[in-house]
Amino acid sequence: MTANKAYLDLEARFRRLSAIEGALAILGWDRSTMMPPGSADDRGEQTAALGVLAHEILSAPQVGDLLAGAEAAGGLDAWQSANLREMRRAWIHATALSPALVEAMARAATRCEMAWREARPKNDFASLKPHLQVVLDLVRETGQAKAAKLGVSTYDALLDQYEPDGRAERIDALFAELEAFLPDLLQRVLERQAARPAPLPLAGPFPVEAQRQLGIEMMRAVGFDFSKGRLDVSAHPFTGGTPDDVRLTTRYDEADFARALMGVLHETGHAMYEAGLPAAWRHQPVGRARGMALHESQSLLLEMQACRGLAFITFAAPRMRAAFAGTGAAWEADNVLQLYTVVQPGFIRVDADEVTYPLHVILRYRLERALIVGELALDDLPAAWNEGMQRGLGIRPPTDTVGCLQDIHWYDGALGYFPTYTMGALAAAQLFQAALRADADIEPGLARGDFVPLYRWLRVNVHEKGASAGTDDLLRATTGAPLGADAFRRHLERRYLQS
Alpha carbon distance 313, 336 (integer Å): 7
Concerning whether 375 is annotated as a catalytic residue, the answer is no
Nearer to a second copy, 283 or 321 (CB): 283
Residue 13 interacts with a second copy (CB under 8 A): yes or no: no
Residue 26 interacts with a second copy (CB under 8 A): yes or no: yes
Q: Would you mind telling me the total number of residues written for the chain in this entry?
A: 499
DSSP H helices in 151-256: 154-162, 168-194, 208-222
The distance in angstroms from the start CA to the end CA of the chain is 54
Residue 50 interacts with a second copy (CB under 8 A): yes or no: yes
Nearer to a second copy, 229 or 470 (CB): 229
Among 16, 111, 220, 476, which residue interacts with a second copy (rule: CB under 8 A)?
16
Alpha carbon distance 226, 217 (integer Å): 11
Work out whether strand 239-242 and strand 245-250 pair parallel, antiparallel, or are unpaired.
antiparallel
Nearer to a second copy, 31 or 167 (CB): 31
Site string for a second copy, 141-170 (x = CB under 8 A): ------------------------------
Alpha carbon distance 336, 316 (integer Å): 9
Phi, psi dihedrals of residue 376, rounded to the nearest 5°: -130, 130
Among residues 11, 86, 163, 267, which one is catalytic?
Answer: 267
Nearer to a second copy, 48 or 440 (CB): 48
In the window 249-288, what residues touch a second copy (CB under 8 A)?
283
Alpha carbon distance 349, 298 (integer Å): 19
Residue 227 interacts with a second copy (CB under 8 A): yes or no: yes
Q: How far is the CB of 473 from a second copy (least distance, A)?
A: 29
Residue 244 interacts with a second copy (CB under 8 A): yes or no: yes
Q: How far is the CB of 216 from a second copy (least distance, A)?
A: 13
DSSP H helices in 199-348: 208-222, 257-276, 292-300, 310-324, 333-339
Alpha carbon distance 158, 145 (integer Å): 10
Amino acid of residue 246: V
Tell whether omega for the bond before 318 is within 30 degrees of 0, i.e. cis.
no
Was 266 annotated as part of a binding site? yes
Nearer to a second copy, 227 or 498 (CB): 227
| Residue ranges binding a second copy (CB under 8 A) | 15-16, 18-20, 22-23, 26-27, 30, 34-39, 41-43, 45-50, 52-53, 225-230, 242, 244-245, 283
Q: Which residues are annotated as a binding site for Zn(2+)?
A: 266, 270, 296
Which residues are catalytic, by number? 267
